[in-house]
Structure 1
Amino acid sequence: MATPYDRLYAPDRRNARIADLWWAMALRGVGAIVLGTLAVLWPGITLLVLAGVFAAYCLVDAAFSIILAVRGARRQERWGWPVLHSLVAIAAAVLTIFYPDLTVFAFVALLTVWALATGTIAIVGAFRLHPDHGRVWMILAGIVSLALGVLLLLFPQVGMFTLTWMIAFQAWLAGSMLLSLAFRLRMRQAERRTHGRRVPASE
């Protein structure tokens, strides 16, 4: 049974543990930037190649979300949002891999659902973070994904050129936000280890 002490300091512990996983956020950010760069720089990129790169990114993104979920489950904390994020990413990757004959319209539909779902999950999950742990960066990353989803809803008949650049811009922006989040988490972790905190992450 949780004591008043546990309820009082649980948020501090949770944020400290999330800060210890700053590297996972950093790698997610790097993965997004790589996705955007490959999409733009791949010579004569086709829908099949673009879908393959997107599927690879989704699998990597899902792997890091699973790490967050496992860490949370082991400490009896909330782990539902990372699991939901990983399921959305895995579903998008599986559909892309097992249906290589996707049309542009079908891929746009898949991308729209993915962007809206992951954006919503990121924004909701951000409120688990204390503001000084980079909450705003996680919210902005979610907003960028939502913006892509809304744009694709409004303009579903985009061509390959436009679609490629839309994915690239979303990936670059979201990746930059995640790297900023990782940097802020790393700073909080360093401060805790240097100055000592009332509630260490290991408690």
Structure 2
Amino acid sequence: MANRNTDIHSGAKGTEMAPERWWTLAVRGVLAIIFGLIALIWPAITLKALVIVFGVYALINGATTILGAFRDRPSGERGWLILSGLVSLAAGIAALVWPRITTLALIWLIGAWFLITGIVEIVGAVMRRKEVEGDWSMLLNGVLAALFGLILMLWPGAGAVALVALIAIFAIVLGAAMLVLAFRARHVTHHPGHRAHPMAA
């Protein structure tokens, strides 16, 4: 009986996420939605304004991700979170310190950011597949981001307004997916027993 209780406790602990993990995801999701809404409501947004909005979003997203990585995260998970945060910080800095960036260069920058972030998310999801068995949200999030990055990089010559609308819609979808994942993580954090399914004696 003692061994069975120990196994159940260990199983619940393995799937439990630290509290800061869910709120960092929530913050990133809200920021992505805000970024998407600004671009969608303001379709004639100037290139300079879009660069500033994207740069600020990428910086905050990167800082939040790295902050979550250094707060009681397992070493294996911490590495890919830091990498994801650094990529986001680099994209944000590049956007803000490159005042005369062209439309094509901006599209490539945003596309590369989505692609690299998506790949990092996919790697993180694969690394955590044993901890969160049956939860494909994070993997799907990474696949969508990577695919969108490829679309932007392979289709850079489309009209600026069309691309802004595309970026806006995807940012909103990605933000919503992050919020869903965040609240699922929060539920597991506060109700770890729900993931444990003890076998009958």
1:16 is aligned to 16
Q: Is the 8 A contact 1:105 1:156 kept in 2?
A: yes
Mean Cα deviation higher: 16-25 or 105-114:
16-25
Gaps of 5+ in 1: 1-8, 199-203
Distance 1:196 1:96, change over 3 A: closer
1:185 is aligned to 185
1:84 is aligned to 83
Distance 1:116 1:33, change over 3 A: same
Q: Is the 8 A contact 1:19 1:188 kept in 2?
A: no
Deviations 1:129-153, CA, capped at 9 Å, x for gaps: 5575783221222122112112122
Distance 1:144 1:29, change over 3 A: same
Distance 1:60 1:155, change over 3 A: same
Aligned equivalents of 1:135, 1:188: Cα separation in 2: 11
Task: Report how far residue 197 of structure 1 moved.
Answer: 9.3
Q: What TM-score, normalized by structure 2, do the two folds share?
A: 0.82
Give the alignment's Cα RMSD to 1 decimal. 2.6
Gaps of 5+ in 2: 1-8, 197-201
Deviations 1:33-79, CA, capped at 9 Å, x for gaps: 11100111126311111111111111111122112221246x65541
2:53 is aligned to 53
Mean Cα deviation higher: 25-34 or 128-137:
128-137
2:4 is aligned to none
Aligned equivalents of 1:133, 1:34: Cα separation in 2: 31
1:141 is aligned to 141
1:121 is aligned to 120
Whether 2:102 is the aligned partner of 1:96: answer no
Deviations 1:100-156, CA, capped at 9 Å, x for gaps: 211011111111211110011111112315575783221222122112112122211
Task: Report how far residue 19 of structure 1 moved.
Answer: 5.3
Aligned equivalents of 2:10, 2:83: Cα separation in 1: 22
Deviations 1:82-108, CA, capped at 9 Å, x for gaps: 111011101101110000211011111
Alignment map for 1:146-161 (pairs within 5 Å): 146-161=146-161
Q: What TM-score, normalized by structure 1, do the two folds share?
A: 0.81
Q: Is the 8 A contact 2:112 2:153 kept in 1?
A: no
Mean Cα deviation higher: 98-107 or 128-137:
128-137
- The amino acid that maps onto 1:50 is L
Distance 1:15 1:67, change over 3 A: farther
- The amino acid that maps onto 2:36 is G
2:173 is aligned to 173
Q: Is the 8 A contact 2:125 2:139 kept in 1?
A: yes
Q: Is the 8 A contact 1:58 1:92 kept in 2?
A: yes
1:27 is aligned to 27
Whether 2:12 is the aligned partner of 1:40: answer no
- The amino acid that maps onto 2:93 is V
Mean Cα deviation higher: 137-146 or 87-96:
137-146
